[in-house]
Amino acid sequence: MTPVVRMTMRWRTAPLAIFGLALLILLAGIAVIAINEGTYDRGRVDQSQSLADVLAASAAAAVDFDDPAAAQQAVEAFRVNGQVRMIAVYRRDGTAIGGYDRSGAPVASTIVALQAPQENAIRVQSPIVQAGQRIGTVYMDIDRESAARRISRYALLAGLFVLAALVVASLGLAQTQLRRANRELASRAEALTQANVLLEEQIEERAKAEDQLRQSQKMQALGQLTGGIAHDFNNQLTVIQGSADMLSRPGLSEEKRIRFAQAIVQSASNAASLTSQLLAFARRQPLKPQRLDLNRLIADMDELLNRTMGERFRVVTELAERPCRVEVDRAQLQSAILNIASNARDAMQGRDTLGSGTLIIRTRDFGEVEGKRMVGLEIADNGEGMSQEVRERIFEPFFTTKPTGEGTGLGLSQVYGFASQSGGEVTAASEPGNGTTITLMLPCIDSGHADPVPAVAAASAETAPAAILVVEDNVDVGAFVETLLTELGHKVTRADRGEQALELARRNHFDIVLSDVVMPGMGGIKLAEALEREQPSLPVVLATGYSQDIVEGGSGGRPVILKPYRLAALSEALAEAMRSHRG
């Protein structure tokens, strides 16, 4: 084949190859545009989501402490971003706590009232999480890419058509244009990667700073709590130690001996009350829930409330006609009501001089609240009221506005802990000069009659002598319990471990077992379960100052006596357990 023929064939096949290459280039260009468009849109959404996540992390503390000023300050930091159209920060209940709209219009006050985003805006939302719980939500609207920028990007398609036409004339020019386009795309991808890395570093640094702040706040609260506990316990120990020293002196008269012994009993009771209030605040108090008619309980407390408030103040009840029943610890609920009433009395004493103070107690059905039907107990006074700063701290342990020595600061913290542990919540509404309303909301139960009021305990002297196995790992406590029970005429056998007690019960006859709950090795609950399998007729009474197992899983229906306990309470608990098994 001659060179002329070969050259002719090349030129005949060249247009087909060139057109094929141009078509491939065109298809590749369309694919690149589609991928770039999708990547850009996703990147835009991801960038917007990252901004919302950063704001959610920044505003978490403000939302947790319900601080609108701090929340708004966190929002204002994003105003410099001209692409942000609207930001709204909402609490857990859906109400706004901060935000702004670039148009100047007010931010929707609730999530329900929030309008759908405009067509040229991207809306993202991010949960506000604190201690593993969702406490609010951030909504953010970001401008979409402008029409001019979108048109300029789509102009690349037209350029590809031109490029395909130029390929026919010059493969070299087409190759040059393709390489240039690839370099531009690589540069954009690298810039986007660098921006993403920078954003991740900023998020990590902010998270570290927030963790340090939370740790500092925890340590500050722990220091305040520890100091308050030490102060109040030392007061009680001073009385106990001093009274014990006086009782040790020779020649003490009978009158003084009784007085100092009563002082020890009273201080021990005060210390027990302190630990009970601390456990209630920490939601670790062992509760004994009962089905209660809220109206009946308040009516039964009428005389007690009037004595608590005194003659200068009136107690008015406004009870709903048919409130739902609740399932809570009766004693803890009564204590919560009395704590609130005592604070109301003190607030009205600071303002009232003519006896016009009134405490209003009302019940009402709140309906569905976050998927649960709730009943509310509102206790309102017309006292001095509170500032916002005081209102935000009233449920903190050991916080009090009373003079030194006139309050422990644990009353309302007990109310808070009781409400949380019972599946409800407590809120306070107050303004200086306009009184205070404390609302205790508790979950309703669907059906069932109210449990009867517990009968008055029988006297300890009526308990018949019995063979009692005492299981207690603390030597001092075990010896003390043995002395108490021996004084009542019982025959006592002691064990300091659950395994030892189980062996003793297998070899000897006992009428009842009194066991501590928290012990090395086999604890009191496991011992009770083992005895129930082997000797179902042998009653077991559990004794504890605090047990995580009982708080979380209960006692399995077995009676529990809380430390510290009195002689009469111990005797009655044992007698009641033996009567129940015999019955």
pLDDT digits (tens, 9 = 90+) for 424-446: 888 888 888 888 888 888 888 86
Would 492 be classed as within a structural domain?
A: yes
Average pLDDT (107-115) is 86
pLDDT tier at 166, thresholds 50, 70, 90: low
Q: Which residues pair with 89 in a beta bridge?
A: 98, 138
Q: How many domains does the chain contain in total?
A: 4
The answer to whether the Cα torsion of 468, 557, 287, 319 is positive or negative is: negative
Would 179 be classed as within a structural domain?
A: no
Would 371 be classed as within a structural domain?
A: yes
360 and 420 share a domain?
yes
pLDDT tier at 19, thresholds 50, 70, 90: low
Dist. CA 206–CA 160, nearest whole Å = 45
Dist. CA 344–CA 435, nearest whole Å = 9
Paired tokens of 193: 């990667």
Of the residues 128, 144, 169, which one is the last residue of a structural domain? 169
Dist. CA 495–CA 511, nearest whole Å = 15
Q: Which amino acid type is present at position 58? A: S
Q: pLDDT tens-digit profile of 444-499?
A: 886 555 555 554 444 444 567 889 999 988 887 888 888 878 878 889 899 988 89
pLDDT tier at 563, thresholds 50, 70, 90: confident
Of 216-230, 295-309, 454-468, highest mean pLDDT:
295-309
Q: Which residues pair with 138 in a beta bridge?
A: 89, 126
More confident residue, 68 or 452: 68
Dist. CA 99–CA 87, nearest whole Å = 5
Q: Which amino acid type is present at position 139? A: Y
Would 241 be classed as within a structural domain?
A: yes
Of the residues 144, 169, 194, which one is the last residue of a structural domain? 169
pLDDT of 501 higher than 80: yes
Of the residues 398, 416, 445, which one is the last residue of a structural domain? 445
Average pLDDT (350-374) is 75
Nearest residue to 361 via CA among 301, 295, 317, 304: 317
CATH number of the domain bearing residue 330: 3.30.565.10
CA angle 560, 566, 572 (to 5 degrees): 55
**Full DSSP string of 363-432:** EEEEEEETTEEEEEEEEEE-S----HHHHTTTTSTT---SPTTS--S-HHHHHHHHHHHTT-EEEEEE-T
Nearest residue to 378 via CA among 442, 456, 304: 442
pLDDT for the residue numbered 22: 62
Mean pLDDT of all residues belonging to the chain:
76
Would 372 be classed as within a structural domain?
A: yes
3-state secondary structure 160-179: HHHHHHHHHHCHHHHHHHHH
69 and 109 share a domain?
yes
> Using an 8 Å Cβ cutoff, are 375 and 324 in contact?
yes
Percent of the chain with pLDDT over 90: 1
> Using an 8 Å Cβ cutoff, are 457 and 540 in contact?
no
CA angle 466, 468, 469 (to 5 degrees): 165
Would 182 be classed as within a structural domain?
A: no
Average pLDDT (173-179) is 66
Dist. CA 386–CA 343, nearest whole Å = 12
pLDDT for the residue numbered 353: 45
pLDDT of 28 higher than 50: yes
Nearest residue to 277 via CA among 393, 176, 416: 416
pLDDT for the residue numbered 466: 87
pTM: 0.42
Q: pLDDT tens-digit profile of 93-102?
A: 889 888 888 8
404 and 489 share a domain?
no
pLDDT tier at 183, thresholds 50, 70, 90: confident
Question: DSSP secondary-structure letter at 95?
Answer: B
pLDDT for the residue numbered 310: 77
pLDDT for the residue numbered 446: 64
275 and 306 share a domain?
no
Paired tokens of 128: 């506000």
CB-side exposure of 339: number of CA atoms within 13 Å?
A: 26
Sheet containing 467-471: which strands, arranged edge to edge? Answer: 491-495, 467-471, 512-516, 540-544, 560-562
504 and 567 share a domain?
yes
Paired tokens of 70: 């701090």
pLDDT tier at 349, thresholds 50, 70, 90: confident
> Using an 8 Å Cβ cutoff, are 437 and 380 in contact?
yes
pLDDT of 311 higher than 50: yes
496 and 414 share a domain?
no
pLDDT tier at 4, thresholds 50, 70, 90: very low
More confident residue, 335 or 218: 335
pLDDT for the residue numbered 7: 45
pLDDT for the residue numbered 283: 47
Nearest residue to 419 via CA among 293, 540, 225, 280: 280
- Which of 189-193, 200-204, 253-257 has the lowest average pLDDT? 253-257
Alpha-helical (H) ranges within 106-170 are 147-169
Give me the domain span that covers residue 361.
289-445
Paired tokens of 336: 């919560």
pLDDT for the residue numbered 6: 53
Dist. CA 163–CA 184, nearest whole Å = 16
418 and 318 share a domain?
yes
104 and 248 share a domain?
no
CATH number of the domain bearing residue 505: 3.40.50.2300
Dist. CA 423–CA 433, nearest whole Å = 32
Would 232 be classed as within a structural domain?
A: no
437 and 304 share a domain?
yes
Would 212 be classed as within a structural domain?
A: no
pLDDT of 1 higher than 70: no
Question: DSSP secondary-structure letter at 79?
Answer: T
pLDDT for the residue numbered 405: 47
Q: Which helix (H) or strand (E) holds 529?
A: helix 524-534
pLDDT for the residue numbered 416: 80
More confident residue, 326 or 304: 326
Burial class of 446 by CB neighbour count within 10 A (0 to 12, 13 to 18, 19+): exposed
pLDDT of 80 higher than 70: yes
334 and 382 share a domain?
yes
Q: Which helix (H) or strand (E) holds 203?
A: helix 171-247
pLDDT for the residue numbered 459: 41
292: which residues sit within 8 A by CB, 6+ positions away?
325, 326, 327, 328, 330, 333, 450, 451
pLDDT for the residue numbered 178: 75
Identify each DSSP E strand in 184-337 by its residue range. 289-292, 314-318, 325-329
298 and 356 share a domain?
yes
Dist. CA 548–CA 533, nearest whole Å = 24
Tracing tokens 């159209």 back to the chain, one arrives at 85
Average pLDDT (502-518) is 88
pLDDT for the residue numbered 26: 64
CATH number of the domain bearing residue 24: 3.30.450.20
pLDDT for the residue numbered 348: 82
470: which residues sit within 8 A by CB, 6+ positions away?
478, 481, 482, 485, 492, 493, 494, 495, 514, 515
469 and 383 share a domain?
no
pLDDT for the residue numbered 463: 62
pLDDT for the residue numbered 455: 46
